[in-house]
Structure 1
């Protein structure tokens, strides 16, 4: 999996590389500039002839310093280069690279009008803010980014981050320059994957500038593949069905069982040896007509559930999808929070939000899988707090003592220890077809099945998120939730499980 660094962690890694590794800021800028030029040529091979016209937009900080290096390298390669720059004193290394460029060509002040006076460039380089932008753009900066965004230039390259985006949250802090290519250094940043980031970064390239050994130990992890250890754990060894876990999914009354059936099928397809759907007596016939391999059990009330949970073969629970939110269901949730690994989704999250007593029963074998609306109801103070999606999920996981998976195209997963993962259904893994009713119910079932098989909560959540999106990618347009469980065998075969 890929490490992701926040802007503060990136700056700390650069500082450590210079202090401990004998590198200089000028060296790092030179490597960054070389990486951007190489990425441009790789992305647009027709530009490698060096006969085009480039417009370089430089900010006053280190990102602008990278821009001056790019200007010099392009001019050395035969490009006609023009530089527009924001005023400011800048950092010493940035000023050094500006001075090197001024010995080769002029620097004009960057304004909205200056942009309008420079139309028709073959390549635009956005080296204005990089990962340094932390507050909304205003005044001249707002006008400049608005102007460039409206120009709709075909080849706009963002150095580190498209200007207007927060590197840590992915939030738009004003008009955003929509890049065709974003080149970042050493590691991706959270903003490349969160919120508005993927829509504005275009094609994302990560360039090695030689500071990998100076990264901090605690980083965010991007789930872009499954490790050999997880793949090995997905394989089934010898044994009988209960050797591979028994998942219990609780369903609702008549007419409410579709979501729970989707969860049950997800748990069964991911390899739980047995899956039982527990439903009120009145819903038994309806579910029996639609299920075969999934076993059925009537559960009239919480007392019946407590008796069933005496069966130690039941190794994981799933509560919420289509379950209902009345008193009976609240009692069932209270009975289910007995220490058995459990996934809480949908209606179970609604019950939690309504009951501090239930909230207090959460334990470290619980996985909560809210979407944004459910998260806001569960944690209204965190939902409106400053900070990124990562901050909110980490704080919620620490508050509850659970593993928490906040669903979306930019899924964030964290546990109570602060370990944090991003699974982004973007770039090569863009899967907009997952925005369909019931897909979250299947995800809850897949995670439950992994829990039943013995996966730790954080492993179950991260693996389930990856496999869920992989199923959508395997199907493509036209996907509906019922398709997802039946795509798991294809996805697992592709992983050589």
Structure 2
């Protein structure tokens, strides 16, 4: 698992490294420029074998200094390079000014006002070194006009962003301002040291193209904690975490109870139950109303079944201490979920609240009062809006300044308010807990899994979480691991995926982890 940083945390890491005397600002800038050139040639090896033409757009800060280094390194490889500076040399920071002077010995620097779309149309590579992670306001109008012009041009040039496409908020992945065209989309974005939140959140994955991370020699980010708790980019569990003990019996691995809807609506819970069993829960029982027993019995084999028609019957079933995890909501019906909700929460069991249970919770007079630390809420965007309307409203507001309010901010606030773990679904699924722990399971870039946009996929995710909690996983770990397995299983199966395929493909994914 890798840490993913905010712009403030990245600055802290750089400042700590420079303060320690391990590296100077000029050395960091040189490494960053070399990292971009290396990433470009790795992405497009054909560019290494001849001289081409590049246009480098340099901004008024240290990102612009990186651009001057890139221009010099390309020039030294025999490239024809044109450099445009937004701002004046006299106002550049010291390190950026030093690299401006180094470049000035090799070539001219034109003003940004001299740049037009036609000059970029005729080049092979465009380097966006305008603002990077330091942007706190919408890009200037003349830049927005250029970006819009490029967006409507059949541009042959390959576009590269230094750290982050200009116009994009580093902490939220949102375009700053109310003009959706005020951003420079890239084919390749080269980040330094680690990914930033903006690379995986919001519009980041669509605007960044592909992302490479260049090592610039920052060995520690210990000093970043003063700028807020870091976020983990969850890249999968070690196989040993998911392995079952070699001794024991089925009850050693937990017993999950999945509550089903009425007749004709039991499919969602059956999907969840099968996923819970596949992920390693020792037993899984479907709690089914009398009217749906025949329907469910005809569809299951390894799953067990018990009749639960009323909240009182649920309480009686849960008197068995071996039932240690509960999944509540898929296909259940909102009105029924409202009636069962108090009994579910009173049990104190590790509980996944999904689908109709979330809507019932949003409508409940008691609100979040009955939730406990062993609950996991799994809202998609619409359910999140019902549960946390003020947080959703903040996310919907145009981000006029940076750092902009992000999905990470919203999910962390939701977890603190609810007093339990919240998994906010989406291509960039964010998992947060009341103690500030936060993880992102990102199905973006090479991990994109568009086939998950299919009916029932969310029910499978709820079952995976319940199955892992039955096995004893803490709520946050269960949610993050389940979200990762969910994506990996969809990627393993590929196009044509339907929800039933997820559980059946899971064993192949688990074997790939060495189990």
TM class by shorter chain equals over 0.9
Give, in whole Å, the separation in 1 of the partners of 2:468 and 2:323.
Answer: 13
Consecutive aligned runs of 4 or more in structure 1 exceeding 6 Å deviation: none
Give, in whole Å, the separation in 2 of the partners of 1:119 and 1:153.
Answer: 7
Q: Is the 8 A contact 1:343 1:366 kept in 2?
A: yes
Q: Is the 8 A contact 2:61 2:96 kept in 1?
A: yes
CA offsets per residue over residues 204-224 of structure 1, 9 Å max, x none?
110111113144244211112
TM-superposed CA distance for 1:236, in Å, is: 3.9
2:339 equivalent among 313, 327, 331:
331
Counterparts of residues 172-211 of structure 1 (less than 5 Å): 172-173=175-176, 174-175=180-181, 176-211=183-218
In the other structure, the counterpart of 2:26 is 26
TM-superposed CA distance for 1:407, in Å, is: 0.6
Larger CA deviation: 380-389 vs 104-113? 104-113
Q: Is the 8 A contact 2:256 2:283 kept in 1?
A: yes
State how many pairs are aligned. 494
CA offsets per residue over residues 112-153 of structure 1, 9 Å max, x none?
853323431111111111112232334212112212333334
In the other structure, the counterpart of 1:165 is 168
TM-superposed CA distance for 1:469, in Å, is: 0.5
Please state whether the residue corresponding to 2:165 is helix, strand or coil: coil
1:251 aligns with 2:253: no
Larger CA deviation: 336-345 vs 380-389? 380-389
TM-score, scaled to structure 2: 0.93
Give, in whole Å, the separation in 2 of the partners of 1:408 and 1:378.
Answer: 16
Q: Which 5+ residue runs of structure 2 have no aligned equivalent?
A: 396-404
Give, in whole Å, the separation in 2 of the partners of 1:53 and 1:235.
Answer: 57
2:307 equivalent among 289, 298, 302:
298
Larger CA deviation: 2-11 vs 176-185? 176-185
TM-score, scaled to structure 1: 0.96
TM-superposed CA distance for 1:330, in Å, is: 1.8
Give, in whole Å, the separation in 2 of the partners of 1:96 and 1:242.
Answer: 68
CA offsets per residue over residues 339-370 of structure 1, 9 Å max, x none?
11000000000011001415210010000000
Larger CA deviation: 57-66 vs 92-101? 92-101
Q: Which 5+ residue runs of structure 1 have no aligned equivalent?
A: none
Give, in whole Å, the separation in 2 of the partners of 1:132 and 1:289.
Answer: 60
1:286 aligns with 2:295: yes
CA offsets per residue over residues 76-117 of structure 1, 9 Å max, x none?
111111101211423221122112211221111124853323
TM-superposed CA distance for 1:3, in Å, is: 1.1
Counterparts of residues 76-155 of structure 1 (less than 5 Å): 76-88=76-88, 89-111=91-113, 113-151=115-153, 152-155=155-158
In the other structure, the counterpart of 1:452 is 470
Please state whether the residue corresponding to 2:81 is helix, strand or coil: strand
1:355 aligns with 2:358: no
Give, in whole Å, the separation in 2 of the partners of 1:118 and 1:60.
Answer: 20
In the other structure, the counterpart of 1:9 is 9
Please state whether the residue corresponding to 1:437 is helix, strand or coil: coil
In the other structure, the counterpart of 1:263 is 272
The Cα RMSD (Å) is 1.5
